């Protein structure tokens, strides 16, 4: 489950119209959400609030074995009026990352002003008054001592450029008095992602020219990217490349279309590692993913499989039938027809602004409707690898709280401090020197926001 501050930061991206999917760092987002999700390891409580459209706070307290916490503050120049902040109103799909549908490249939108309006006034109006550009400031103080302060700074410089800065400051030991500074070995890097297909700028020109036919909608998208970094201090060089092939929402208009899926291939030539992932959205509420990794130098391999299942209560289904709405993801009208759902259902993308009037009214009049249609949503995630390391996660709402409960199971060593149950010496873990299989971690995380 995402932290409340991460949720607000994603809302900032949406409000500033920044396409975060068009980045090499997001190449394997879907597979990571289905296979690499983390489970709580202890009891954790989060109290958050979006007190004003520009300011948010979060207080975190963790216990069981180790007591720690953090205090976070966030400020943005763009007002987040349409961002639900109450834990009973936040769509759970925005807090729980899952299968993410990629959309075709498009022209950069008009640069947004700090007051939320669109147009060239974001850069400067006719009167010569310079408008503030979209900016986000975020800082977190981790407690108890030795305290650590982390923070980030985001600023939209142009419709296609965004500046991102991050810092981390730790308290030095009491025996040291000399100031120190570090930049992580002076690491320099570059990453990029390129999409194959029609140029949206040329497509926009064709649409303006009546003598030319507009380009046909893309049914799939192939993207290639890479990353390289170098440290002159430690003489470390890194290189990675990747490919991504995914179906697009336009493919759902074809009655013979297959289920939405995403394929990725990543290579790290210097270490000899390669990894392939395959993610499939079998229905609006069910997704599968698998990953196979291999190292050509050590001949080691990795296989991981996972899935997620979204569930809704009967009360929510009744509400959806009465309002003729189906709160699902990513324009899956064809999939709902295969499942026998009514064609009158409206597909709603969880992170777009083109919401139906009923849902939009809930955002502005949530004080009259204490429970949103997402109030009873819950999700179950399970993943397993070739070593039988199993993680299971349940996330949903309990009253006005968003609860995340998870458990991790797997082979453990004899000296491991876990709730492991011994097995026979001839069991599957005996050959590798592991004599037990049991609990690795159990935890619960609770979020309340206002």
Instruction: Kindly report whether the peptide bond that precedes residue 146 is cis, defined as omega within 30 degrees of 0.
Output: yes
For residues 247-258, give the mean pLDDT: 64
Q: For residue 32, what pLDDT is reported?
A: 93
Of 120-129, 209-218, 335-344, the poorest mean pLDDT is in 120-129
Measured CA to CA, the distance from residue 214 to residue 347 in angstroms comes to 26
Measured CA to CA, the distance from residue 193 to residue 6 in angstroms comes to 23
> Residue 441 — very low, low, confident or very high, per pLDDT cuts 50/70/90?
confident
Q: Are 346 and 326 in contact, with CB atoms under 8 Å apart?
A: yes
Q: For residue 185, what pLDDT is reported?
A: 67
> Residue 201 — very low, low, confident or very high, per pLDDT cuts 50/70/90?
low
Q: For residue 211, what pLDDT is reported?
A: 44
The SS3 call for residue 244 is strand
> Residue 230 — very low, low, confident or very high, per pLDDT cuts 50/70/90?
confident
Measured CA to CA, the distance from residue 265 to residue 247 in angstroms comes to 15
DSSP state letters, 265-295 = EEEETTTTEEEEEEEEEEETTEEEEEEEEEE
Nearest CA to 23 among 191, 240, 238, 275?
A: 191
Nearest CA to 59 among 450, 438, 417?
A: 450
May I ask the CATH class of domain 4-171+186-449? Answer: mainly beta
Q: Residue 428: pLDDT above 60?
A: no
Cβ atoms < 10 Å from Cβ of 170: 13
Q: Residue 382: pLDDT above 50?
A: yes
> Residue 405 — very low, low, confident or very high, per pLDDT cuts 50/70/90?
very high
> Does the CA dihedral 93-222-196-28 come out positive or negative?
positive
Of 114-128, 281-295, 388-402, the poorest mean pLDDT is in 114-128
Of 84-88, 122-126, 415-419, 430-434, which has the strongest mean pLDDT? 84-88
Of 86-95, 252-261, 313-322, the poorest mean pLDDT is in 313-322
The pTM assigned to this predicted structure is 0.75
Dihedral pair phi/psi, residue 325, rounded to 5° = -125, 145
Q: What percent of the chain has pLDDT over 70?
A: 66
Measured CA to CA, the distance from residue 134 to residue 119 in angstroms comes to 13
DSSP state at residue 226: E
Query: Cα separations (Å) of 84 from 7, 53, 60, 71, 95?
Result: 10, 10, 20, 21, 12
Report the C-alpha dihedral over residues 128, 129, 135, 138, rounded to 10 degrees.
150
More confident residue, 186 or 417: 186
For residues 213-219, give the mean pLDDT: 58
Instruction: Kindly report whether the peptide bond that precedes residue 341 is cis, defined as omega within 30 degrees of 0.
Output: no
Measured CA to CA, the distance from residue 215 to residue 197 in angstroms comes to 11
Dihedral pair phi/psi, residue 135, rounded to 5° = -140, 145
Q: Residue 28: pLDDT above 80?
A: yes
Nearest CA to 43 among 70, 61, 25?
A: 61
């Amino acid at each position: 489950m995402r932290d409340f501050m991460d949720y607000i930061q994603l809302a900032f991206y949406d409000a500033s119209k920044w396409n975060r999917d068009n980045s090499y760092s997001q190449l394997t987002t879907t597979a990571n959400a289905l296979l690499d999700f983390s489970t709580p390891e202890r009891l954790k409580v989060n109290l958050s609030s979006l007190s004003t459209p520009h300011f948010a706070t979060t207080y975190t307290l963790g216990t069981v074995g180790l007591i720690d916490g953090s205090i976070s503050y966030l400020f943005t120049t763009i007002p987040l009026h349409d961002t639900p902040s109450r834990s009973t109103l936040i769509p759970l799909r925005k807090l729980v990352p899952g299968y993410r549908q990629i959309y075709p490249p498009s022209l950069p939108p008009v640069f947004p002003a700090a007051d939320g309006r669109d147009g060239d006034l974001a850069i400067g109006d006719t009167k010569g008054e310079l408008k503030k550009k979209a900016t986000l400031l975020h800082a977190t103080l981790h407690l108890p001592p030795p305290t650590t302060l982390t923070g980030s700074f985001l600023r939209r410089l142009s419709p296609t450029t965004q500046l991102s800065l991050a810092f981390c400051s730790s308290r030095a030991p009491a025996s040291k008095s000399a100031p120190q500074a570090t930049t992580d070995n002076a690491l320099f890097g570059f990453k990029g992602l390129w999409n194959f297909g029609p140029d949206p700028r040329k497509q926009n020109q064709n649409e303006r020219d009546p003598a030319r036919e507009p380009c046909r909608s893309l049914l799939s998208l192939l993207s290639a990217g890479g990353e390289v970094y170098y440290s002159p201090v430690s003489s470390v060089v890194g290189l990675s490349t990747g490919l991504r092939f995914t179906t697009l929402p336009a493919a759902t208009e074809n009655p013979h279309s297959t289920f939405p899926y995403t394929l990725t291939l990543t290579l790290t030539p210097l270490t000899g590692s390669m990894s392939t992932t395959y993610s499939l959205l079998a229905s609006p509420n069910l997704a599968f993913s698998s990953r196979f990794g291999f190292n050509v130098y050590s001949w080691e391999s990795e296989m991981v499989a996972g899935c997620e299942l979204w569930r809704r209560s009967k009360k929510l289904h009744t509400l959806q039938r009465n309002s003729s709405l189906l709160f699902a993801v990513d324009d899956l009208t064809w999939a709902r027809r295969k499942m026998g759902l009514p064609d009158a259902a409206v597909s709603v993308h969880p992170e777009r602004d083109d919401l139906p009037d009923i849902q939009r009214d809930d955002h502005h009049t949530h004080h009259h409707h204490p429970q949103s249609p997402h109030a009873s949503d819950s999700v179950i995630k399970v993943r397993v690898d070739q070593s039988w390391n199993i993680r299971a996660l349940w996330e949903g709402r309990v009253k006005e709280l968003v609860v995340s409960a998870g458990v991790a199971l797997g082979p453990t060593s004899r000296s491991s401090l876990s709730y492991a149950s011994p097995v026979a010496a001839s069991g599957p873990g005996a050959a590798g020197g592991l004599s037990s299989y049991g609990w690795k971690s159990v935890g619960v995380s609770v979020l309340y926001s206002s």
